[in-house]
């Protein structure tokens, strides 16, 4: 595979490459693994070769960037191009992370209070065939102060 084909694989067929993709390509191909070349160096080289005001580089600018990378790394340009062409042919290496269990959220044995038994419910209240809607909403009248009678009855146990 040629270097231009590897460039196209990483850019998903686009004619230009952004800085993140440039750094990702160098990292996936093992260019950034040494102390001579870091991700910051790759970002600086990318900024040096891109046009002022643009965010992406063309393939010609990519080749200029590879000359700077080879000089920074202290290796031959042909060797670097062959390495990127060979190892970049499969495209970006994409890996995800697996979410860890959150102890107090996922482990139901640590639940306390009402939620220990599954949370509040009105479905099984009285175990009758039809539940009435009075359990879901209070439709009692307001008194002169704007307080519902049903709320006072529920809190005190008295009926006024």
pLDDT given for residue 132 in this prediction? 59
β-pair type (17-18, 56-57): antiparallel
Q: Phi-psi category of 125—alpha, beta or left, where left has phi over 0 and alpha has psi -120 to 50?
A: beta
The Cα 157–Cα 153 span in angstroms is 5
User: pLDDT higher for 35 or 55?
Assistant: 55
Q: What is the mean pLDDT of the chain?
A: 80
pLDDT given for residue 48 in this prediction? 94
Residues paired with 142 in a beta bridge: 148
Which of these ranges, 37-41, 70-74, 112-116, has the smallest mean pLDDT? 112-116
Q: Where in the chain is the domain with CATH 1.10.238.10?
A: 3-87
Which of these ranges, 71-85, 94-108, 119-133, has the smallest mean pLDDT? 119-133
Kindly tell me if the per-residue pLDDT of 138 is higher than 60.
Answer: yes
SS3 content of the chain, % helix, strand, coil (to 5): 50, 5, 45
Write the pLDDT tens digit of every residue in 82-99.
988 888 777 787 777 777
pLDDT given for residue 47 in this prediction? 94
CATH code assigned to 3-87: 1.10.238.10
Kindly tell me if the per-residue pLDDT of 11 is higher than 70.
Answer: yes
For residues 70 and 77, the answer to whether their CB atoms sit within 8 Å is: yes
Q: What is the mean pLDDT of residues 96-113?
A: 74
Question: Structure pTM?
Answer: 0.58
What's the per-residue H, E or C state across 76-94?
CHHHHHHHHHHHCCCCCCC
Please give the structure tokens belonging to residue 137.
Answer: 């909403």
The Cα 95–Cα 28 span in angstroms is 12
């Amino acid at each position: 595979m040629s270097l231009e084909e590897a460039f196209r694989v990483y850019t998903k067929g686009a004619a230009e490459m952004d800085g993140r993709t440039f750094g990702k390509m160098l990292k996936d191909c093992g260019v950034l693994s040494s102390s001579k070349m870091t991700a910051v160096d790759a970002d600086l080289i990318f900024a040096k070769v891109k046009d002022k005001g643009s965010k992406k580089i063309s393939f010609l600018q990519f080749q200029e960037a590879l000359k700077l990378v080879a000089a920074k790394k202290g290796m031959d340009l042909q060797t670097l191009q062959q390495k990127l062409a060979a190892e970049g042919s499969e495209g970006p290496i994409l890996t995800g992370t697996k979410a860890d269990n959150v102890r107090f959220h996922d482990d139901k044995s640590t639940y306390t209070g009402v939620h220990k038994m599954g949370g509040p419910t009105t479905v099984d209240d009285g175990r009758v065939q039809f539940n009435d809607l009075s359990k879901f909403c209070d439709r009692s009248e307001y008194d002169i102060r704007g307080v519902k009678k049903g709320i006072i009855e529920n809190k005190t146990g008295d009926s006024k």
